[in-house]
Amino acid sequence: MNDSPGWATPGSPSDGQGPEGDRPAAPPASPPAADAKWSATQPPPGQWSSPAEGRTPTPPAAPAPQQQTGWGSYGSGPQQQPGTPYGAPYAQPGGWGGPPAAAKPGVIPLRPLGLGEILDGAVSTLRGHWRPVLAVSLVVAALSEIALLFVQRATMGSAVITTDRTPSAAETSKLLGDTALLYGAEYYLEILGLFLVTAVLAPVVSHAVLGRPSTLPATLRAVRPLAPRLAGLIALLLLGALAAAVLPVLPGILAGSAGLAVLGVPVAMVLLAWFYVTFVLAPPALMLERGSVTDALKRSAKLVRGSWWRIFGISLLTWLLRGITSAIIVMPFAAVALFLAPGGLGSLLDGSATTGWAFLIITAIGSVVAATVTLPMQTGVTTLLYVDQRIRREALDLELARAAGQDGGGPVTGG
C-alpha cells in the first residue's frame, strides 16, 4: 500500500475515507469460484479489493495530484512556490500566471504609483534632465530671494531687542506686524515659485516619463504660447490663497480684537491647506492639456476629489524632506554669515546681525542654492501626482504606452 501521510491515495484500500485504522477491518473475502467470470484486464496488486462473485471490477481512476502543505495548493512549475498567500500564487513579472509587467520607458512605470516611485521619479527627473531643471529653478529661486531680501531688510529693524527699557505697545504692535509681513511674504513667494516652476517644468517631467530628452530652449518654446494663461492662473491662485489666509482673521482685525484675530489663525491654516491641495494640480493640467485657466482649475479639483488626504500627505512629506535638505544646505552659509557679522554671536542673540547686508546676502545665497536643488523635487512630485491621478482615473498609462511606442507593455527601462 502506498498511502501518503495524512491523505488517502486514490485507489487505496481506504478508498479515500481515511487510514485503515479509522474503520473496522473488512472480513476476508472467500476465494472465487472456479467457474467465475473475470475480466482479462486486472488492476495492479494492492490497489483494489476483491470484487464480489460474478462482478467485473471497475479500473481505478487516475491518481489526483498530491496536495502540498502551506496556504493552498501549488503546482510544480517555476512560477508557483509554497508560502504565497492563499488564492494568489507567486508569479514572476510578465510570466505565466500573472499580469504582464508595466512598461517603464522613463522615470516611472506606467501604472498607478506608490509613494516611493513618485519620489524616485522626481529625483530621477532632476538627475536625468538637470540642465533645464536647474536653469529654471535657479532663475525663479534667485528672483524670489532678491524680493525676500528687501522685505527682510525693511522688517528686521523692529526685531532688535532693547534691554534698557520695556518696549511700548506701539513697538510691540509694529514688531508683530513686521513679523507677519515677513512670514507672509516668505510664504507667498514660496507658493509663487512652486506654481511657476511646476508649470514651466511640467513638459520636462512629461518627457522624462516617456524617456525622451529635454532641453531648455525646447521647454521655453513649449511654455511661451501659454504664458498669458499661466500668468492668469498664478494670479488667481495667489488671490485665492490670500483670501483663504485673510478672511478668517479679518473680523478680529476690523474689531481691533487680538484674541478674535488669533482664533481665526487655525481656521486660516485649514483653509490654506484645503485650497493648496485642491488646486495644486492646476499648473501641470494647464501646461499638459493646454486648456483655459478655468479648465485647469476644474481639472485639478476633479482629479483631487476622493484622493485629497493622499495628495495632502505626499505633498506634506515632500515639503518636510525639502525643508530638512534646505536647512542642511543653508547651515554652512549661515555660519559664515555669523562669523563675518559684527558682534558675532551676541549680535545674533539681540537681532542686530539680521539687519546687516552682509548677513542677509550670504544667507540669501545659501537659500538660492538650497531652493535650486530642492524646488524641482517638490514640483516633480506635483506633476507626477497629476500623472498618477490620471492613470488611476482615466487609464492614461495606455495612452502613454502608445506615445512611448510600447503598446505591448514590455518591461523597458529608459530615461
State pLDDT tens for residues 298-312. Answer: 999 999 999 999 999
Claim: this prediction has a pTM higher than 0.75: no
Which pLDDT value is given to residue 337?
82
Q: Residues 275-283: what's their mean pLDDT? A: 96
Q: What is the pLDDT of residues 248-267, one digit of tens each?
A: 988 888 887 878 888 898 99
351 vs 389 pLDDT, higher one: 389
Which pLDDT value is given to residue 257?
80
Q: Residues 207-211: what's their mean pLDDT? A: 94
Q: Residues 107-122: what's their mean pLDDT? A: 95
In this predicted structure, the answer to whether residue 64 has a pLDDT above a threshold of 90 is no
- Mean of the per-residue pLDDT values of the chain: 77
In this predicted structure, the answer to whether residue 48 has a pLDDT above a threshold of 70 is no
SS (H, E, C) the chain: CCCECCECCCCCCCCCCCCHHHCCCCCCCCCCCCCCCCCCCCCCCCCCCCCCCCCCCCCCCCCCCCCCCCCCCCCCCCCCCCCCCCCCCCCCCCCCCCCCCCCECCCCCCCCCCHHHHHHHHHHHHHHCHHHHHHHHHHHHHHHHHHHHHHHHHHHHHHCCCCCCCCCHHHHHHHHHHHHHHHHHHHHHHHHHHHHHHHHHHHHHHHHHHCCCCCHHHHHHHHHHHHHHHHHHHHHHHHHHHHHHHCCCHHHHHHCCHHHHHHHHHHHHHHHHHHHHHHCCHHHHHHHHCCCHHHHHHHHHHHHCCCHHHHHHHHHHHHHHHHHHHHHHHHHHHHHHHHHCCCHHHHHHHCCHHHCHHHHHHHHHHHHHHHHHHHHHHHHHHHHHHHHHHHHHHCHHHHHHHHCCCCCCCCCECC
